[in-house]
Amino acid sequence: MISNSSGRNIDPCVVGESTGQLANRFAAMEELQARHRKEVKDLQNRITGMKKQATKSTRKEVNSKCASLQEALRIRHEKEIRELDGSVEEVDEKGCTAEELLEQLSLERSEELAEPKETNVQGPQRRRRNRQRERLAKREAEITRIKEEARLEASQQPDLKKIEQDAIDQLCSVNRLKQYDIQPDGHCLFASILDQLQLRHGESARDLSVSKLRSLACAYIRQHKDDFIPYMFDEETCQPRDIDVYTEKMESTAEWGGELEIVALANQFDCPISIMMSGRPKHVINEKGVNPELKLVYYKHTYALGEHYNSLHDDI
């Protein structure tokens, strides 16, 4: 038996067993790194193909999609490396961590120098442990290299959030508008329209609420099914969705609203609703509406939860 610096007695057989477990983990890390390199190469080939097929009108969208794919792959790779890297530091069934193992190996090396008459059986064990230390150092160096490459790649990606926010700030300045923050959740579209109705339609909007706007939008869609059916396709199945099922979910949950609900409410309140967004002209729905225009701003990259609507107030 030998002892480490904490005074624990360590059975050489336990040390050997821990070494074997670490060897399996390091082999798993090497396999993970090989798979990561292949996935990066495959994604680069895919992105090259996407950019070759992009037209002038779709180039921005394709570039954004490419950046999103690269970022998603980077995040997944870092997560997998952290998970596997963390497993090496976990305590094994015998209670021996990787740090303790290295400490034991160092002590054994000192004993080897002090006691040259040890048996031949222990010699091969020490050599295996020395090789293990080399593999550990190599693994740590490789992980450091991968993390640095990932950091460098991330630093070279365009900051889509900043680009979008700068563009919207400039549009607001030109149009003498200011962004009014709405809580970023599934109700943001209806909350933005409610704020606009109270701001621009005055007394007629006094008794409205987010839930009331959901009900009004869904009622309008059900009453004008023929106008909305062409836009009610499920993106996954490419089949038309049932309007009653769709409106029931939209009315009774925090489901995110979109253009269908904007169209419905623009007609319900007989007013134009304009949507400002980065990189595109202002989009106006129901331009012939007779009541005051409601003004919204749409974000795709600025908020962590995804797509979001805010209300626009006049900057007087």
pLDDT score at 220: 97
pLDDT score at 12: 40
Interval 186-235: pLDDT, tens: 899 999 999 999 999 988 888 999 999 999 999 999 999 999 988 887 77
pLDDT score at 131: 81
pLDDT score at 263: 96
Name the strands in the sheet holding 177-180, side by side, starting at the edge strand that comes first in the sequence: 177-180, 308-314, 294-299, 273-276, 283-285
- Which segment of 20-24, 130-134, 236-240 scores lowest on mean pLDDT? 20-24
Q: How confident is the model over 268-294, as a mean pLDDT?
A: 94
pLDDT score at 23: 63
Residue 241 to residue 95: CA distance in whole angstroms: 57
Q: Which two tokens stand for residue 293?
A: 């225009």
Contact 90, 68 (CB under 8 A): no
Contact 298, 275 (CB under 8 A): yes
Tokens 């209806």 correspond to 190
pLDDT score at 11: 42
Interval 35-72: pLDDT, tens: 888 888 888 888 887 877 777 777 888 788 888 888 88
Q: What is the dihedral of CA 249, 253, 258, 262, to 10 degrees?
A: 90
Residue 75 has pLDDT above 50, yes or no: yes
More confident: 76 or 177:
177
Residue 279 has pLDDT above 50, yes or no: yes
More confident: 11 or 140:
140
pLDDT score at 91: 38
Quickly state the pLDDT bin for 110 (edges 50, 70, 90): low
Residue 15 has pLDDT above 50, yes or no: no
What's the chain's Rg over C-alpha atoms? 31
CATH architecture of 161-314: Alpha-Beta Complex (3.90)
pLDDT score at 10: 40
Residue 311 to residue 294: CA distance in whole angstroms: 9
pLDDT score at 193: 97
Q: How confident is the model over 114-130, as a mean pLDDT?
A: 53
pLDDT score at 21: 63
pLDDT score at 178: 95
pLDDT score at 158: 75
More confident: 28 or 288:
288
User: Within the chain, which residue ranges are assigned CATH 3.90.70.80?
Assistant: 161-314
Residue 258 to residue 214: CA distance in whole angstroms: 11
